A and B are shown apart, each in its own frame.
Chain A
Amino acid sequence: MSASSRTTLLDASGVRDALDRLSRRIVELAGGTDELVLVGIQRRGSDLAERIAGLIEAREGRPIPLGVMDITLYRDDLQTIGPRPVIGETRLPVELDHKWVMIVDDVLYTGRTVRAALDQLADFGRPARIGLTVLVDRGGRELPIQADLTGLSVDATPADRVEVLVSEVDGRDAVELVQGGTK
């Protein structure tokens, strides 16, 4: 355990503004809300997707279908990392065929989670279009995957940690960069 420094990248109002902006751009990108389905990746991605769905509903006056996915069983590292302790719920409330599916996650890093999410979505249906929205893009991709919409981009090194805190899980909203420490 070495000393680490913690920098706030977004405070609670920064997170709120970012989610508000993302929710508007999602509707623009999807050309309205008719075919839009939001799918949050467990765990914090699903909390963010729920917030975004709420913002869109408040503005457009109609509920947005909201799904959650745990991609654990589609990961490619069972052999090297071993089983995850708890696998979360996967629940997709509508048929995905011909829909405009926006995946929502907290942090985009290697791209491997998104790769797994795309594989899993393909087993549930054939959406007309799949997009990706993340609150933070921290760089460091290991696969050719990019987000359509990003709340914040930050150049973090592999030694850094980017932590997205949401009030549902962590008691407060923030995005923080932790440098120089090993957990």
Chain B
Amino acid sequence: MTTPSLGKDLLGLEPLSREQIELILDTAEPFKEVSERAIKKVPALRGKTIVNLFFEASTRTRISFEFAEKRLSADTVNVVAQGSSVQKGENLVDTARNLEAMRIDMVVVRHPSSGAPKFLAERIRSNVINGGDGTHEHPTQALLDMLTIRDRCGVIEGLKVCICGDIAHSRVARSNIWGLTKLGAEVAVCGPQSLMPGSIEELGVTVFRRIEEAIEWANVLNVLRLQLERMKAGYIPSLREYYRVFGVTLERLERAPRDLVILHPGPMNRGVEIDSRVADGPHSVILHQVTNGVAVRMAVLYLLAGGRPELAESAKASERGGGA
């Protein structure tokens, strides 16, 4: 049996196989325990330099990556460039060349333009990890969602997962759809018509127009954050109206035929897409997602940093010569 490898970069879940996704989730398991130790650090990435290159605001994802990097003993630098002052294409090439000149090993990049991490990955030798690009993908978020679902439900195959909210603009939704369908889950989406992309059925998902139908159908709801600027842009009439029609409320969950697991990638708008009583209640695994985020990112960094999978097979063969 050959072990799947991830290759040089993690740009999204669309290009990954089921085996590669499962490799990441399985590798994340032992990393959970590292964060429970008194000394929360292992030397696996000692001497590696990692740049967190954020062209778009982020607190949670950046901090989670930074914890993951530090707990693997890597050296990290945060570069925060505000999107408005950046000439996208040209600036990214320049940034890439400068990073290469400083002999870095890995880059985590978040960028408002879909495809920016791929653009970067094709131009530098360092490993590139997509920390969220435009409306394209946010692979580590979907991986931590899947790890959390697997923790709670045991298996992903055969589960019914509904992603609720602004599907059209959501890279979290897109990565979740790719990942979950590859692992054999049934995936649905639910949200206002105005926030639903036109060709969504082509991704193999069911579309629910009413949140009640989604709740009746699903084992798991992944409730997306409603970007408040969507209201100004006229996609929804008002936040109150959104909560009334699409809010995941305790009353709605209590009418469900089975206990649901509720995920939310954060940060939450309490009383908009989710009821506070749900967010803080027994259905919610939202803080578990945050904990798992560090473990999943450690797994991705570890798997990419090794980088020479062609040697792994021969090494395993020679290791059979005797352990210690």
Task: Check B321 against A158 for contact (C-beta < 8 Å).
Answer: yes
User: How does the 8 Å CB contact mask read for B9-48 relative to A, with 1 for contact and 0 for none?
Assistant: 0000000000000010011011101100111011111000
Task: Check B308 against A109 for contact (C-beta < 8 Å).
Answer: no
A119–B73 CA distance with the chains assembled, in angstroms:
14
CB distance from A45 to the nearest CB of B (A): 7
- With contact pairs A78-B305, A81-B306, A82-B312 given, residues A134 and B324 touching in the complex (Cβ less than 8 Å): yes
A114–B322 CA distance with the chains assembled, in angstroms:
13
Task: Check A73 against B33 for contact (C-beta < 8 Å).
Answer: no
- With contact pairs A79-B308, A124-B39 given, residues A113 and B30 touching in the complex (Cβ less than 8 Å): no
- With contact pairs A79-B308, A80-B311 given, residues A85 and B324 touching in the complex (Cβ less than 8 Å): no
Q: B101 interface residue, CB < 8 Å from A?
A: no
Identify the B interface with A (CB < 8 A): 3, 5, 23, 26-27, 29-31, 33-34, 37-39, 41-45, 72, 302-303, 305-312, 315, 317, 320-324
Q: A136 interface residue, CB < 8 Å from B?
A: yes
Q: Which of A18-26, A50-58, A86-94 contacts B (4 or more CB under 8 A)?
A: A86-94
Which residues of chain B are within 8 angstroms of A107 by Cβ–Cβ distance? Answer: 322-324
Which residues of chain B are within 8 angstroms of A156 by Cβ–Cβ distance? Answer: 321-322
Q: A70 interface residue, CB < 8 Å from B?
A: yes
CB distance from B311 to the nearest CB of A (A): 5
Q: Which of A30-38, A59-67, A160-168 contacts B (4 or more CB under 8 A)?
A: A160-168
CB distance from B269 to the nearest CB of A (A): 38
Which residues of chain A are within 8 angstroms of B31 by Cβ–Cβ distance? Answer: 87
A87–B31 CA distance with the chains assembled, in angstroms:
9
Task: Check B324 against A114 for contact (C-beta < 8 Å).
Answer: yes
Identify the A interface with B (CB < 8 A): 41, 44-45, 70, 72-75, 77-91, 105-114, 119-120, 123-124, 134, 136, 138, 156, 158, 160-164, 182-183
Task: Check B324 against A83 for contact (C-beta < 8 Å).
Answer: no
Which residues of chain B are within 8 angstroms of A75 by Cβ–Cβ distance? Answer: 44
Task: Check B317 against A113 for contact (C-beta < 8 Å).
Answer: no
Which residues of chain A are within 8 angstroms of B323 by Cβ–Cβ distance? Answer: 41, 44-45, 105-109, 113, 164
Which residues of chain B are within 8 angstroms of A162 by Cβ–Cβ distance? Answer: 321-322
Which residues of chain B are within 8 angstroms of A111 by Cβ–Cβ distance? Answer: 324
Task: Check B39 against A123 for contact (C-beta < 8 Å).
Answer: yes
A-B contact pairs, 13 of them (CB 8 A): A79-B306, A79-B308, A82-B310, A82-B312, A83-B305, A88-B30, A108-B324, A109-B321, A112-B324, A113-B323, A123-B37, A156-B321, A162-B322
Not counting A83-B312, A183-B320, a sample of 4 additional A-B residue pairs whose C-beta atoms are within 8 angstroms of each other reads A83-B309, A109-B322, A111-B324, A161-B321
Task: Check A160 against B321 for contact (C-beta < 8 Å).
Answer: yes
A74–B43 CA distance with the chains assembled, in angstroms:
6
Residue of A with least CB distance to B41: A123
Task: Check A83 against B303 for contact (C-beta < 8 Å).
Answer: yes
Which residues of chain A are within 8 angstroms of B305 by Cβ–Cβ distance? Answer: 78, 83
A106–B38 CA distance with the chains assembled, in angstroms:
28
A156–B3 CA distance with the chains assembled, in angstroms:
29
**A81 touches which of B29, B33, B43, B312 (Cβ 8 Å):** B312
Which residues of chain B are within 8 angstroms of A161 by Cβ–Cβ distance? Answer: 320-322
Which residues of chain B are within 8 angstroms of A138 by Cβ–Cβ distance? Answer: 322
A106–B319 CA distance with the chains assembled, in angstroms:
13
Task: Check B30 against A70 for contact (C-beta < 8 Å).
Answer: yes
Which residues of chain B are within 8 angstroms of A163 by Cβ–Cβ distance? Answer: 320, 322
CB distance from A178 to the nearest CB of B (A): 9
A111–B323 CA distance with the chains assembled, in angstroms:
9
Task: Check B34 against A73 for contact (C-beta < 8 Å).
Answer: yes
A72–B72 CA distance with the chains assembled, in angstroms:
12
A97–B309 CA distance with the chains assembled, in angstroms:
38
A111–B324 CA distance with the chains assembled, in angstroms:
6
A45–B79 CA distance with the chains assembled, in angstroms:
44
Task: Check A74 against B42 for contact (C-beta < 8 Å).
Answer: yes
> Which of B5, B29, B42, B72 neighbours the largest number of chain A CB atoms within 10 Å of its CB?
B42
> Which of B3, B29, B43, B321 neighbours the largest number of chain A CB atoms within 10 Å of its CB?
B321
Which residues of chain A are within 8 angstroms of B42 by Cβ–Cβ distance? Answer: 73-74, 120, 123
A112–B319 CA distance with the chains assembled, in angstroms:
11
Closest 8 CB pairs of A and B: A107-B322, A83-B306, A82-B306, A73-B42, A81-B315, A113-B324, A87-B30, A82-B312
